[in-house]
Structures are given as C-alpha cells and as structure tokens.
Amino acid sequence: MKEKDELKKIKKLIKTSDNIFIMGHKNLDLDAISSNIGMCYILQKLNKKCYIIIDDTEHEMGVKKVLHEIEGCYNIITSNEIEENMHKRNKKNLLIILDTNKKELVQSKKALDLMQKRVVLDHHELGKTSIKEGLILIDTKASSACELIVRVSDLYNIKFTSYVATLLLAGITLDTNNFMLNTHAETFYTAYYLSVYGASTKKVQYLLKQDLNSYSEEQKLLTNIDIVDGNIAIAKSSPNAIYRRQDLARIADTLLFFNDIEISIVIGKIGKEEVGVSARSIERNIEPLMTKLGGGGNENNGAATITNKKISEIVTDIKKLLKEEGK
C-alpha cells in the first residue's frame, strides 16, 4: 500500500513539472541506461521536456551499443548543459535519479545542487551518504531499476515499443544474472509483460555480449581465490590489472554458482588509486559488511569503492570484519 501511495506522489510531481532531468549512477551499466531511457520514453509520451544527464566519457560495451542506437532519439546532455535547459521557474524542474541513492555515485552533483525537487527510484539499500531530500522510493526486493520503471508505466497505462521493452529486459537480465539471482514472482511477471510488447531475448543477449579480452582478464582474477570459513570466496586481482565495476560484479555472481559458496567478494582496481569491491550473497545479509567498507547495497548485493589502499590491506580488513561478524 505504501509503495502505491509513493507512486501516486511521483505521478503528481511529474504532472506539476515541465522540464524533467533523469540520471543514473556513474559508470553506467545496462540497468542504469535502460531505466533512464524507459523513464524518458514515458515522459515523452506525457509531452514533457525530458533530458538524460550523462557525464561518463567511457562506457562498457553494452551501454556503448545502446547509446549508438538511440542517438538523436533522446535529449542526452552533460552537466554543463543543465542550466540552459532548465525552466526559469525552478519548481517546474524535476530531477529523477535512478539505480542509485548515493550522492557520490550520481552522474551529476551539479544536478543535485541545482534542483531541490527530486525523485529517487532505486533498489539498493539506503546508507550514510544517501540522498535524503525529495521523494525517495526504495524497494530492495526489486530486481533492478528497470523493473521499477515498468511499475511507473502502469500508472499511465503506457505501452512500450519493442525496442524500449528489450532494453528494460536487458537491464533486468543483467542485474539478475540471467534470472538466477535477486528474482521474485514480480520479476518474472515483468519479463513476461515486456515480452508481450515484443522484447527480444536475442537482442538482449547481443547487448550482454562481452569482449573476449575482458573475459580473459576475468578468468585471471578467478585464479586467485581465498576460501574463508568454507563458504566465503574472496577473489582478488593483481595490483596492476584494471577492471570495470561491472566486471567485478559479474565475477561475484559467477562465484555463487560453485558448490558450498554462499558469499562471494571480488576485489580489484578500477582506477589508478581506486579499488572496487563487489559482493554477493545467497542468504546472509551482505549490506552491513559493505557499509563498513564505505559502500552499500542490499541483502544479497553490495559494492564499495576504496581509495589509497592496497588490495592486500583491503583483503585483511574484510577478513577481520567477517571474523567479527561471526562472533
């Protein structure tokens, strides 16, 4: 009942807004970009001026394919172009944040500074750095931001084109690792709903295809694994290899498919001074551990970014935290 009330509030905010800006998290993945496009499609059908904010200069392969295919179909702007596209009356502007609720993870901090009228629609746990101002709708049981966008479309009985339906299905497929994790009855119903509107599973697999070199690098990471307490797998990269966040997440998903592994934690450099940590869990709540590392997530899915610390030091910290939790 509460979620229905919140969705109605979103409908009211959209109705009273003329210029609407959408953004996801930094380092866009298919769930983030597809939910952005899905929301923008809905707003276009409502005759709203809609802008997708993207400051990323590099994109993973699936996102790159999508951005190439939609070129010219949607208003995609950077932070530097926000002010020139805002309505003169600030209350007529609305900022919609999808697939993250953390201030430091959004595409544009400038957008947060410029617009106080906000909606956050996400499936990750709230944390210390979560956005508090605005209408916050968090459903940690949802598989993905794309699943939440389908719920928004129900408010208006809007039917997606087969292409947009495909993108939304791709986002769900990514975040559930081909419907093996983070799923519930509504997830499968949503997939069915999108297939009715022509979502193509063949196209989804095309968008999810990996680069062969990236796959080879992932396999190298899988050769360096510590097993803690018989059921926790900790994989760590070499100090010199650089990975994308989505690579670490994919490896964490993969580790859960091995016998006896209930928690997977993958650690690798994602920048010159940044180390990414991606964690997955079948039953045990992983969110407190990620929060202690400065990140967040939900019960089965979490991540953190740590700067100016060696991978070996982070592994030691994680093992210490796991030991404390087990007491």
Q: pLDDT for 91-146, tens place per residue?
A: 999 999 999 999 988 999 999 999 999 999 999 888 778 999 999 999 988 999 99
Fold (topology level) of 212-326: Diaminopimelate Epimerase; Chain A, domain 1 (3.10.310)
Return d(Cα 25, Cα 301) in angstroms, integer.
Answer: 16
Return d(Cα 148, Cα 44) in angstroms, integer.
Answer: 18
Return d(Cα 70, Cα 247) in angstroms, integer.
Answer: 24
Q: What is the CATH number of domain 2-208?
A: 3.90.1640.10
pLDDT at 327 over 70: no
Greater model confidence, 244 or 183: 183
Q: What Rg value do the Cα atoms of the chain yield, rounded?
A: 19
Q: Which residues contact 54 (CB under 8 A, 6 or more apart)?
A: 23, 28, 67, 76, 77, 78, 107
pLDDT at 319 over 90: yes
pLDDT of residue 295: 82
Give tens-digit pLDDT for 238-257: 888 888 877 888 889 889 88
* Cα separations in angstroms, 145 against 25, 35, 50, 197, 308: 11, 6, 18, 19, 31
The beta-strand segments (E) located in the chain are 19-23, 49-53, 76-77, 93-98, 118-122, 135-138, 225-228, 232-236, 263-269, 274-281, 296-297, 301-307
pLDDT of residue 1: 45
Give tens-digit pLDDT for 140-176: 889 999 999 999 999 999 999 999 999 999 999 998 8
pLDDT at 180 over 90: no
3-state secondary structure of 307: strand
Question: What's the chain's average pLDDT?
Answer: 91
81 DSSP assignment? G
- Could you tell me where in the chain the CATH 3.10.310.30 domains are found? 212-326
3-state secondary structure of 58: coil
pLDDT of residue 39: 98
3-state secondary structure of 303: strand
3-state secondary structure of 130: strand
* Cα separations in angstroms, 285 against 22, 257, 280, 281: 30, 18, 9, 7
Give tens-digit pLDDT for 10-62: 999 999 999 999 999 998 999 999 999 999 999 999 999 999 999 999 898 89
Q: Which residues contact 22 (CB under 8 A, 6 or more apart)?
A: 36, 39, 40, 43, 50, 51, 52, 53, 95, 96, 97, 98
276, β-bridge pairs = 268, 305
- Could you tell me where in the chain the CATH 3.90.1640.10 domains are found? 2-208
Produce one character per residue of 77-87: b if its CB has 16 or more CB atoms within 10 Å, e if not.
Answer: bebeebeeebe
* Cα separations in angstroms, 153 against 59, 164, 170: 27, 12, 17
Nearest to 312 by CA among 320, 302, 300: 320
pLDDT at 232 over 60: yes
